[in-house]
Structure 1
Amino acid sequence: MPNARFQAAGAIGDAAIREWGILTDDNKRSLILYCLNYVMEHTGSPDGYVQSKVSAVAARLLKRGWLEFPDQEKGAIFFEVEQSIQGMHGPNRQFAGINFLETLVSEFSPSTASSMGLPKEFHDQCQLSLEVKFLKDFYCWAQAAVFNTADKILNSNVTIPEEKACSAALRLMLQILSWSFKPTLEHENLDAKIKSGLRSDAINLRKFERSLVKPGSLWTDILISSAHTTWVLNFYTTLRQKYSYDTLWGDSPIAVSCRQLIVQLCSLAGAVFPNDNGDAQIEHFMHILSAVILWIEPPNVIAESIRNGGSESEFIDGCHVLLSVASLTSSSLFDNLLKSIRLVIAHFFLV
């Protein structure tokens, strides 16, 4: 029966795309809302792959009608999704709402979008529209979901449903920061940044399938001014301490999602930082390195743990952070950052 529902969902989606031109506006909206309601009403079902398929159909249909539907109608659809993501209907629906946005962002991203037999211009317009009008809101909703579940997760001695929703929210934030943001014409004092030791060398990042994250000044409030990165670092550090007895915790979904988000935050660049001669970006690197240094040092202890069957993923992610910082700073600034952090750590242990 689940397989039949899976096949039926795919058939409905394909038929709707194929016959889109003859469907009425009410038909189109009803199909999207039906799929979303199905996903939300079956959040406790063990057949997760069916819900994922229906969610993908809803995302695909919403994109197909994106340029036709007024923003008010889109907002009404997203209002229901936001309510779920806020946790107002429980952690299972919260996860379903986050998962839908993951699917939607993927559908609007050029590298993972369905072709739908439409020209590139259609996809470009949809991508830009989502980025300008909704993407930042999605990030804020995911951020709030992590905040709202953090205390329960940190204070619980067992795995709880909120942990699944939190992991999904962290993945969504990572996915959004992996978005191919459109370049903006914003003034940056590049000379001052270069003098301070900052640079924008993305060549090394590309070798490891990473890239600069340049969302622009409109994202400064939620990514920089709000101390968002510091909160994520503290959250991971607290979780890490809580599960220090478990050598395999580093490979758990919440640990992996949180670390990968931290690695991506390390690649922030451009006008998202204020024009302050690079001070904010350097401070940003300092905060990250201060926490991440514990992932890679002391190397002999970490190597021994890995040899004894412990997870190596945290160490690898720590190396990716070093790569990002090294790619965005001069050799002298990078060296000074590491020296400063080691001095702080040495002082901490002496005290």
Structure 2
Amino acid sequence: MAKKYLYALLICLTILAVIFPRILKSNEPICSYHSEVYQGLELQALSEELGNTGLIGRIHGAARASNMFVMSVREPNNFFSHREFSLLARDRESLKILEQVNRHDLLCVQGNFIANPSPQQHIAISSIQVLNSWAQPEGFAPYQRQLIAELTQQGSLMVEVHAIAAKGAVLVVEYQDLILPIYVTATEYTQDLYRGDIVKLAYQIQGKPQNPTHLKLDTQAEKPLEVIDAISSWQNQEQTLTGNLVKFPQSPQLKFDVYAMAVDTKGIERFFTLVNFKDIEAFQQIRDKLANIWDANLATAVSGRNMLINPEVTIQAQGLINIVSPEQANPQILLDSAEDVVRF
């Protein structure tokens, strides 16, 4: 008899050990942050958080006209580890909030991951809160996207790779002022791409979803995808480049202002950040020189999509090109000193 009671007690304790923490967590305030959930960015843990107190992240991009909203969730204390999730509103209230968000806004969303043939995860939102709004740089109006001609049902485009992941199964490109997700079923065409590659791709417009527009790589075309300029081929090349001065203002992802230049390559504008990782003092001098040029010409600077740019200020920089990862946001020019960059 004593063994039966002991066995029953062990079962009860085991159940309590599993259920009680969940009850406690379910009673926690909405939008509580649990750093352990974000370690490794495992989808199972993130999914449970999404359905419980809410997933917390920052807006990576928001395009109201095309109904495209993407949230970035980062691993604690690891800047280079992050996941991007597409956000879908279930109701008018959630959509109204999404239509007001801007890049870097801190959000808390509740909902669930939806079934999707692409590895790109989509969140159907049941509840959304803006925890902190990131202010537009003072004196600059929000960027206004440029209208472009409507895409034909089928054709080809010269584009820049905006994002690449899941061994090529997730592909997003930039075409003029549009960000276009590409549905990929044949990753042999995309698996070796880098962010920043200039490619010509054959496409078909997918019937669903209609907004935002999704394209499908047309594998029946003679050349479904052709790499016109691989950014990785620039690695370790000594280059002298000329372009407009660009500023990426300090943000949750950047500890200080980062300066860059907009360079026309194959008819497509690429952004090259200007850095020196070996000599902190030299890097500070480079930043100070560029900041002085920027500040002296502030009246002609305007907002870009995710940065500020001065179309009236042209600079020239000389250094080695540095690309360390297929997912690197922008190629870098490694400068030895402030003398390597001049007003042109």
TM-score bracket for this pair, using the shorter chain length: under 0.3
TM-score w.r.t. structure 2 length?
A: 0.26
Give the helix-richer structure, 1 or 2. 1
* RCO comparison, higher one (Cα < 8 Å, 6+): 1
User: Which protein is bigger by CA-based radius of gyration?
Assistant: 2
